Structure 1
């Protein structure tokens, strides 16, 4: 099967030997990291199934095997909780507990999360990650609509995706202003972003003796969050667990409205509208939710003087002044006001992010006081952010710039053996090699027909983007 997938996939290359070689290499990464029902981000540091990783992976897998891409999402949704949340990790029971921390015995989901409907058959974490899933499901469907219909893919995933979005619009609107809040730095996916420094100062770190980091066995300490960061991550997760993962009862020391998390929610809400229409449900509520959330995003998080979206700390009520890549991601929002989109494009091209002048898109302000080109989300460029910005550029008609970002992303992915992230100045690969979403999104940039369905498969029909 492996040889057949590689051979048939390679013949679809449009641009010669280099892209054919890249497509084959990326496909090998995904085949190597496939576990039978899902794809791990890497066999070393990340040996379980991660939530938004699987969404990005499915987007790439659809070019190799649409059925396997469907299975990726179905496996993840099988770990969904009764309250609708999709946990950020679904644990593989065959993996030793000491292979990753925090491990299942830390989260104790089936016990501590019983009241929130945690599954009995699968141990998971209790926090979430960005809601890319409906967007991924729609793109996977578009890859082979006949196969999708034959398997009943959309009718099966739609109720689960709708429940996930109800959880975010309900229980997670902690500020009451129409935006979902994140309650742990791991939830928006930008783990150690400088945006979290101020709210994290309120958090008393867990003692060093209470946890053992597994990540430093696979990646240099200079590339990873600090021990102080980890102590605070552990404290927040333990507090949430000890309050039964109840969003209403937990005294969240960290509660933040994040622009990229909510922008992805908006894009996925539009995708849910498309899915609803395809399965014979009413799409109007999803479109209206996307529009209302877009207005809240602009009203709450747009910072005109800085030309970027920022985070808002719900405990202090203050916005965070840091410019991070999270603030650029709303370029993917279909109904973003034109003046906001223009200012955001100017910021991306300007000295703070230098789009087109550095490798991909840095995760943090190049001129910021906390910039570090090696350390995780404090400066390095990530491939999933470049993929999102590529779609955002296309959504706003910036096709030439989008194509340049596509080419540099593909070059960097291949040159670094599909690294987790890269130094924005040198282009040197950092973190784990053979990283699944890097390989998957390289495949999507190679093979997706973006003229067929518009940016992210959401054509501008009936106002949904």
Structure 2
């Protein structure tokens, strides 16, 4: 265990006020957009991270953030990765509601009739967010019935992932589209994506390039494959069927968050007077499955597994480090992960100030392009918690300070170059601001 050699981070008025300004500017009245131009709707895991920061400004507003998202939950339990704002023009974002056609194509899976959403999901950070939001003001939470209202929805969301998405029969959830990992164009998806025929280049218009630098965004080839996968899933009525899937991968990042969510649900169950034991057992079972199925001793981290071809994906990404957030991780595995974070593949504290999204030594590393190398604030926020959980206090303190500095100096950028800290993607990004608030406000 490290001895802390960095003092607790003092609140800096400039960073705090800047983060608050971003969240105020991106608030729509019931939820928060990730950014006004590039992402003008509500995104699933964005809202979870945003709620974590909002709880320091307004616990009630943080509760509403999550309640608004879960109002669009499907009857099968899935939480869609986008809830569309009907006031936003269709051309402002692609794929738009008329592409997903959730209320018709998703009817058999229980898509809500009164809202248009996407049909795919994102990683389950929501139970952790709900617990933290409740703890910020238990009296307001109890008065509004927040935790009691959202608990059964969170359970249904977890059960959707652990049961309907266990496409490999290995006790882990599978993603059916790279976007479901949250790490959209990670090189981890290149091998299984290479087998997918892309949609014709003229069949869609990329609205993201109207607002973002092409060098920061996925390539047209990758985007064509994303469109093909999403259309195939839609045309199969969003049914989760391994036999019909064109892409099915067990992602260590999503499954680590799924496992952490069971532990958070145990805390929520205790708070509402329910039995937490089922969640604790499921958390242990998921940890065991992660270790058995995805841990790779030679790589020093967890690797994704291609379900359709029953083979590991030999690429190191930050997703493979996220199990550090879990309680009950064997000491020797946690030790190897800590060494990998600091080693040549991620370089934290030596080559990099923040953990990159992908292997510095990987053939596909690109410090500018989306999830192929840049450092993301949500991933580093999770890893800061993981470092602290496993005794790396000094490393966690240093990472915390660097994150706040990088957020402020980059204009609360979507992501940054992991070596230089140069801002990439859009600016005034909501989860960057929200998690900066959290780092500044909560005790180490």
- CA offsets 1:193-247 (integer angstroms, 9 cap, x no match): 0000000011000001111000011111110000000000000000000010010
Q: 1:113 aligns with which of 88, 106, 128?
A: 106
* 8 A contact 2:41–2:83 mirrored in 1: yes
Q: 2:382 aligns with which of 385, 388, 391?
A: 388
Describe the SS at the equivalent of 2:254.
helix
CA distance in 2, matches of 1:280, 1:410: 37
For 2:95, the equivalent position in structure 1 comes to 102
Describe the SS at the equivalent of 2:311.
coil
Q: 1:426 deviation in Å?
A: 1.2
Q: 1:250 deviation in Å?
A: 6.5
CA distance in 2, matches of 1:146, 1:250: 48
The question of 1:15 aligning with 2:10 is answered yes
CA distance in 1, matches of 2:231, 2:238: 10
The question of 1:322 aligning with 2:315 is answered yes
Alignment of 1:99-178 (within 5 A): 99-178=92-171
The question of 1:225 aligning with 2:208 is answered no
For 1:205, the equivalent position in structure 2 comes to 198
Q: 1:124 deviation in Å?
A: 0.1
* 8 A contact 1:129–1:186 mirrored in 2: yes
Alignment of 1:229-240 (within 5 A): 229-240=222-233
* 8 A contact 2:167–2:242 mirrored in 1: no
TM-score relative to the length of structure 2:
0.97
Q: 1:306 deviation in Å?
A: 1.0
- CA offsets 1:7-45 (integer angstroms, 9 cap, x no match): xxxxxx9826xx111111100100000001000000000
The question of 1:216 aligning with 2:209 is answered yes
- CA offsets 1:235-268 (integer angstroms, 9 cap, x no match): 0000000010010276111100000100001111
Describe the SS at the equivalent of 1:182.
coil
Alignment of 1:363-402 (within 5 A): 363-402=357-396
CA distance in 1, matches of 2:263, 2:66: 18
The question of 1:444 aligning with 2:438 is answered yes
For 1:190, the equivalent position in structure 2 comes to 183
Question: Any runs of at least 4 consecutive aligned residues in structure 1 with deviations exceeding 2 A, and if so which?
Answer: 13-16
* 8 A contact 2:49–2:435 mirrored in 1: yes
Q: 1:250 to 1:87 in 2, by over 3 A?
A: farther
The question of 1:69 aligning with 2:78 is answered no
Alignment of 1:346-357 (within 5 A): 346-357=339-350
Name the stretch that deviates more: 243-252 or 379-388: 243-252
Q: 1:152 deviation in Å?
A: 1.0
Describe the SS at the equivalent of 1:168.
helix
Alignment of 1:247-396 (within 5 A): 247-248=240-241, 251-357=244-350, 358-396=352-390
CA distance in 1, matches of 2:255, 2:343: 24
Q: 1:441 deviation in Å?
A: 0.3
* 8 A contact 1:239–1:250 mirrored in 2: no
CA distance in 1, matches of 2:158, 2:443: 28
CA-based RMSD of the aligned residues comes to: 1.1
* 8 A contact 1:273–1:283 mirrored in 2: yes
CA distance in 2, matches of 1:28, 1:241: 38
TM-score relative to the length of structure 1:
0.93
CA distance in 2, matches of 1:90, 1:157: 17
Q: 2:85 aligns with which of 80, 92, 97?
A: 92
Q: 1:359 deviation in Å?
A: 2.6
The question of 1:82 aligning with 2:75 is answered yes
The question of 1:415 aligning with 2:415 is answered no
* 8 A contact 2:9–2:401 mirrored in 1: no
The question of 1:406 aligning with 2:422 is answered no
For 2:4, the equivalent position in structure 1 comes to none
Name the stretch that deviates more: 274-283 or 67-76: 274-283
CA distance in 2, matches of 1:438, 1:46: 14
Describe the SS at the equivalent of 1:159.
helix
Q: 1:449 deviation in Å?
A: 2.8
Q: Bigger relative contact order, structure 1 or 2, given CA contacts below 8 A and separation 6+? A: 2
CA distance in 1, matches of 2:242, 2:286: 25
Q: 1:435 aligns with which of 429, 432, 439?
A: 429
* 8 A contact 2:242–2:248 mirrored in 1: no
CA distance in 1, matches of 2:262, 2:242: 27
